[in-house]
Amino acid sequence: MEKGLIEVRNPATSEKIAELAVASAEEVARAVRQARKAQALWQEKSFAERAKVLHSFRDLLIDHQDEIAETLTAETGKPLAEAYGNELFYVYDAIGFWAKNAAKYLKPEHLRPHLLKTKKVVSRYDPLGVVGIISPWNFPLVLTVGEAIPALMAGNAVVIKPSELTPLSALHGAKLAGEAGFPADLLQVIVGLGETAECLIDQADMISFTGSVVTGKKVLRRAAERLIPVTLELGSKDPMIVLKDAYLERAANACVWGALMNSGQVCTSIERVYVEEAVYQKFVEMVVGKVNSLRQGRSHDEVELGSMTSEAQLIKVESQVEEALRRGARILTGGRRKPGAQGFFYEPTVMVDVSHEMQIMREETFGPVIPIMKVKDREEALRLANDSRYGLDSSVFTQDKKTAWEIAEQMAAGAVCINDTLVNFIIPEAPMGGIKESGLGRRHGAEGIRKYCRQKTVVMDRLGLKSELSWFPMTQRKRDFFRRALRLLYRSGWKNKLANPNRTRQGY
């Protein structure tokens, strides 16, 4: 991998804000070697000691939160309010949650054998070693430092490869971690492109990847060569169902926020909406009215929407919208780059007359577009919602709780929000992850930290006898005993047979 430079630009202004050196293959390998040394010290600390350091880290983040928020908005183009209300809030809360709950989730489990009562069995969770995190650009603090927190509490070291578009937030976080009392090199950030990520996969003990399906499959294939564990949170096309008895004001507000927060650049964004025909027109009018009231501008302005972060993603959004228009869709508002804007601003867009023949209803958009489709009933809405190769998040709006739960049970997604949207991501007790092509593994909950561990089973004999029945030598007497015992233990109806020995063997 050749040494090079990466330019980091503000997507809202095109201004260059940093120039960083790309890590070489040797530098990646050295980072992992240093991380291993730090991890050996870190894993010896108790959960309480790790939690204390993490709380110190949080205090430093709070002390520097204005600087971090400035960095976040400069490299993403998102509004300043989102930097505080989404990214920093998530990281602060995650530190508190994992510091409090890691010991509970990773406590050794004492198992009770159903047969071998003379054995003591314990299942324990040990750290994997060095966890590599490969993250996207849409949440450059949440999906880097935020993702590292449970891995650190589990006793691992972490090496982060952030997106080349947004590396500055992770670098800022890692710098503060070095001042918080972590062992040197326990949390590191390496800057680079795809080749840098490949080098990390070749060195780390586990990879946590968030990004596209195409790249996720590449990560999985490369990791398979070393048989290291991988978790993947990939793309999605999350559906929203609105039934005729829904509280429409709440549903419309949820739709606009759930689809357009962070300019729609959220893995769990609402990307397609199915509305029963009885309330379709009213719902569409409400959504359009609310979208038209939104303000879009630079990060420090009082706005709801900033710019998009990636020019390539903006071009993809334009392509999907244009393809839908050619196939007969209509735009009710938006549908273009913001006139006169210098950066990557795409107006919040509402589309109707859409169908599943259009990319806008089948492929991930990851932009500020709300396509709304009329359906005749809940059955059609559910069928179309499940007609996707993705399955990460979803939502259903109805005042009938029984119907809501029935739809939730049948929804082909990793999570379902009832009369709500996106909220599952900020409930750290709730496992989150996708099915189908939306990924493998879970973040949050017990699995969200156990994935950063190797499970080890310890079995101990309680009695200390000279020999076990199944050990050598194998005698005729033992053989006959095993033969009789197998019949006694496992043949169907053996209890009835013992209770009535005069019954014939027929029927057993």
255 is known as an active-site residue: no
Place of tokens 């390496």: 190
DSSP, res 218: H
* Cis peptide bond prior to 136, omega within 30° of 0: no
Active-site residue among 199, 267, 417, 453? 267
Do residues 391 and 412 touch, judged by C-beta distance below 8 A?
yes
Do residues 310 and 137 touch, judged by C-beta distance below 8 A?
yes
Active-site residue among 233, 304, 347, 363? 233
453 is known as an active-site residue: no
List of E strands, 345-450? 349-352, 369-375, 395-397, 417-418, 439-440
Helix crossing, 25-42 with 194-201: angle to 10°? 50
What is the C-alpha R_g of the chain?
27
Report the SS3 class of residue 464: coil
Residues 6+ apart with CB under 8 A from 149: 54, 91, 94, 95, 98
130, β-bridge pairs: 157
Nearest Cα to Cα of residue 491 among 476, 502, 505, 477 = 505
Do residues 319 and 94 touch, judged by C-beta distance below 8 A?
no
State the CB neighbour count (10 A cutoff) for residue 140: 30
State the CB neighbour count (10 A cutoff) for residue 454: 14
CA atoms within 13 A on the CB side of 135: 30
Q: Which residues are catalytic?
A: 233, 267
